[in-house]
Structure 1
Amino acid sequence: MKIDVIISAEDIHDSKIKNKIVVVIDIFRATSVIITALNNGCKEVIPYLTIEETLEFAKKLNREDYVLGGERKAVKIEGFDLSNSPLEYTKELIRNKTVLFTTTNGTRTLAKSVSAKKVFIAAMINAESVAKKLININEDVVIINAGTNGNFSMDDFICSGYIINEMLKYNKSMELTDISKTANIIYKENSDILSYVRKATHYTVMKSLKLDSDIEYCVRKSIIEIVPEYDGERITYTK
């Protein structure tokens, strides 16, 4: 079992992920939203690259059956119901509804991952459950960091390290690439996640927008047990 890490959406190539088990991470905040929304009872999350695609699909649905969610430059899209804050996706608002979702980095990363054998959604909040699922599947894994605007992001990288660290508890003989080993080392040396991510560029952006509550939520470890899966069209999970 081999574990590799891709450090931004710009570095995704079919040669690296085709027929592999892929895990997509965008903890600030797309994958944290997806996991939270599904855990709170939404029917499915359908990711889109553009605002226009999102609104076009919405026309096919009854208005009471969906919510529009997402952001551009970390700010809620005009006319959308919800932003990219996982704290907004409450049971009262999204239970049994479809979430139509578009973000700057996360949904773009998902779109570039469709050649993989399976695509799972991960963040700090469900990392332990993701690690257990990957161990049970026991196939080569590529962990993809969405990054920020095509660049490496410290926050996604330390989450990769957390997942790898959890996997090593079950299988110490896994083959790790150099980048996977580095992610694991970074996590082990920075168990206080918040102190580490304070140095990240996207953290600074979120702080400037007064998104402190989102930051605190997104760095919590393994508070949710579900592992959503993207089938190339929609994201759901099986109990």
Structure 2
Amino acid sequence: MKIDLIISAGDIKKEKVLHKSAVVIDMLRATSVITTAMNNGCKRVIPVLTIDEALETAKNIKEEVILGGERKGLKIDGFDFSNSPLEYSRDVIGGKTLIMTTTNGTKAIRGSIGASSILIGSVLNARAVAEKLLKLKDDVVIVNAGTYGQFSIDDFICSGYIINCLKEMTAVELSDVASTANYVYENNSDIKSFAKFAKHYKRIMELNLQEDFEYCCKKDTIKIVPEFVDGEIIIR
């Protein structure tokens, strides 16, 4: 299995994802939200790029809809919830459709179209993602959402953990950047401690989101792997 890594949503190129299994990671916090919401019974998540697209999509859906997301880490005016996974409890999201737009994560998901499979990854479901990739038997590209188009330490260490899980399961051929991510994880397996070096961590602390940070750094608490299929994220 060949494994490559893209360092931010702004660096996605079609040929890098084409016909591969892509794993999109925005651990602080979009993919952690999606994984949590789906684990708590969310019917589907529709990731969109803009606020206007989210509002328009909501108008055209007859079933009960939740609007969620952020801009610069803050809840969007008129939306139901922000980008905190702790808000998406079973009683809130169970059986409903979540329409979501975020600064980095939803851009990375939509930018990965062309991959044979698009999986939603986080620290929360990292080992489950690795197990799913093993079953798919494709080459892999891990897509880091990054932060405002730039490399992000938090997504990178999460990628390293998923790569490390795959190394335990099968023979892998790593690109230089994937090998670096694995090396970083092997020498910093306490994800929470290492992620505190991230610029994104400082922003999370500025917004008093310590609980979100603690939650998003918990390894393998969720066993499902959401997938982006035909414009929506589902479990299949």
**1:67 CA displacement:** 0.5
Which residue in the other structure is 2:188 paired with? 190
Q: Deviations over 1:34-57 (max 9, x none)?
A: 000000001000000000000011
**1:135 CA displacement:** 1.3
**1:71 CA displacement:** 0.2
Which residue in the other structure is 2:172 paired with? 174
Which residue in the other structure is 2:127 paired with? 128
SS state at 1:37 partner: helix
List runs of 5+ in structure 1 lacking aligned partners.
Answer: none
Which residue in the other structure is 1:67 paired with? 66
Which residue in the other structure is 1:140 paired with? 139
Which residue in the other structure is 2:10 paired with? 10
Counterpart-to-counterpart distance in 2, 1:144 and 1:128: 16
> After TM superposition, what 4+ stretches of structure 1 lie above 4 angstroms from structure 2?
none
SS state at 2:124 partner: helix
SS state at 1:119 partner: strand
Which residue in the other structure is 1:23 paired with? 23
**Structure 2 counterpart of 1:16, which letter?**
K
TM-score (norm 2): 0.98
Matches within 5 A, 1:1-239: 1-62=1-62, 65-171=64-170, 173-238=171-236
SS state at 1:124 partner: coil
Q: Deviations over 1:56-109 (max 9, x none)?
A: 1111234x6111000000000011001000000011111100001000000011
SS state at 1:22 partner: strand
Percent identity, please: 54
**1:211 CA displacement:** 0.2
**Structure 1 counterpart of 2:44, which letter?**
E
Contact 1:114–1:232, Cα closer than 8 Å, also in 2: no
List runs of 5+ in structure 2 lacking aligned partners.
Answer: none
SS state at 1:5 partner: strand
